[in-house]
Amino acid sequence: MASKRCYHSQENRKLGNWGTHPGRLFATGNPATLRPVDLELLRELSVPNTTKILLLVIDGLGGLPNETGRSELEQALVPQMDRLAQESLCGLPLPAAYGVTPGSGPGHLALFGYDPLRYAVGRGVLEALGVDFDLQPSDVAARGNFCTVDAEGRITDRRAGRIPTSESAPLCGVLNQIKVEGVQVFVEPVRDHRFLLVLRGEGLSDRLTETDPQREGAKPMPVRALAPEAESTARAFNDFIAQAERLLRESQPANMLTLRGLAKHPPMPSIVETCKFRAGAIAAYPMYRGLAKLVGMDVLPTGATFADELATLKEHWGSYDFLFIHYKRADAAGEDGDFQAKIAALEEIDPYVDALHELKADVFMVAGDHSTPSVVAGHSWHPVPFMLHPQNYAQADQSEGFNEKACAHGILGTIPAKEVLSLAMAHAGRLTKYGA
């Protein structure tokens, strides 16, 4: 009953009182005011509460049938997810738009309530946030990849055999010594063959192209300016690259680099201010920590495995209202085109779903940031299986299982992924009434 009381407490009514809310966009009784969109509406209607929302993101969750006619989720033995689906609202969130294959950035932003077509985040920014780099608004960050090139400078391996961080970190140390006139240079290892490059200085622009030709046998391209104001920034990056090429020429196993996602820190509204909750993020991989930080969540230190993440979650359970926990292996298996490995990854997470369910969040969501079907061996445009398990007010589907087809027939149907946060907020008693 304590839980139920929260939904209708006088305090909440008062806080959410339409017409007196300090953060509101509407004047009471001013119908000519334009409709607020997306996060603005959420900000307008959200009220504090004592309820908890738990979001499990199974990266690359969605799949497609292989020659058996059944998808990874349909073939996997996932009794806990199947059981939970029977008591949940199921559906197929569409991350970005019909037919549009999202990167991990847009996929996560949508689950955090942001329209990913409105808020675009460059990869360089994500990498910077993921390694706790203190990115300034004027900085331009790039995701770097160590690669190998032949005597003519043509790329022979775009990832330099995915060299471990222990080998790429010393190379970063070398590059960190490079001096470029007029800017400060920061090079930091990220993971494996990936590193972060940040240029800091006056008047830098991120209207820049990438250098990765996206295939082997081609030379890295120069950074090119997409607007006149970016010419000097392009020159600075190309100066860095030229020096790096000389420094790396004799090194092993990587002797060159490429740069992608050259970007500045975008202005983003805070999910914490928008939803009036305390939000914590638990993710082993840097990029997902970066995304969470970008939207204003606290990023909690954790270990490399999902068991570590779960322990971190339990440790901080009392301190947060919204908790995001990330599971990576399903995506990695899908990216590798390994149908059986993806099944195994889904079966690995299944008992944890039960453990998370037992925490009795007021709303527990199992979601994916995008589909990564093994038969595609990459991300795809397909909407992603989803279930929202509320402690109260469930319109449960009595779905027969948790998979693409069952969710297509779920009570939520195909919905924009950016809407699921609002549904969670509503079921957690955290949204007040709209209008009189």
Which has the closest alpha carbon to 153: 33, 245, 244? 245
CA distances for 249 relative to 23, 161, 210, 245, angstroms = 57, 17, 21, 6
Site for a second copy in 58-117 (CB under 8 A): 64-65, 96-106, 115-117
Asked if 342 touches a second copy (CB under 8 A), the answer is no
Nearer to a second copy, 37 or 174 (CB): 37
Applying CB under 8 A, among 189, 220, 261, 334 the residue interacting with a second copy is 261
# residues contacting a second copy (CB under 8 A): 108
Q: Is the dihedral of CA 384, 380, 352, 301 positive or negative?
A: negative
As measured in angstroms, the least distance from the Cβ of 140 to a second copy is 8
Pattern 17-56, binding to a second copy, x per CB under 8 A?
xxxx-----xxxxxxxxxxxx---x---x-----------
C-alpha to C-alpha distance for 169 and 195, rounded to whole angstroms: 8
The whole-angstrom distance between residue 19's C-alpha and the CA centroid of its chain comes to: 35
As measured in angstroms, the least distance from the Cβ of 315 to a second copy is 30
Six-digit token string for 94: 């569409």
The answer to whether residues 256 and 153 touch, using CB atoms and an 8 Å cutoff, is yes
Site for a second copy in 224-243 (CB under 8 A): 224, 226-227
CB atoms within 10 A of CB 100: 13
Site for a second copy in 406-435 (CB under 8 A): 408-409, 411-415, 419-427, 431-435
The answer to whether residues 322 and 55 touch, using CB atoms and an 8 Å cutoff, is yes
Nearer to a second copy, 341 or 375 (CB): 375
Nearer to a second copy, 310 or 423 (CB): 423
Whose tokens are 């030709």? That residue is: 213
Which has the closest alpha carbon to 195: 102, 116, 133, 107? 133
Asked if 373 touches a second copy (CB under 8 A), the answer is yes
Applying CB under 8 A, among 262, 283, 333, 384 the residue interacting with a second copy is 262
What's 153's DSSP letter? S
Helix (H, G, I), strand (E, B) or coil at 31: coil
Six-digit token string for 92: 């197929």
Asked if 129 touches a second copy (CB under 8 A), the answer is no
C-alpha to C-alpha distance for 320 and 302, rounded to whole angstroms: 16
Applying CB under 8 A, among 188, 206, 239, 362 the residue interacting with a second copy is 206
Asked if 394 touches a second copy (CB under 8 A), the answer is yes
As measured in angstroms, the least distance from the Cβ of 418 to a second copy is 9
As measured in angstroms, the least distance from the Cβ of 33 to a second copy is 7
Nearer to a second copy, 78 or 96 (CB): 96
Applying CB under 8 A, among 1, 2, 10, 246 the residue interacting with a second copy is 10
Helix (H, G, I), strand (E, B) or coil at 16: coil
Site for a second copy in 288-327 (CB under 8 A): none
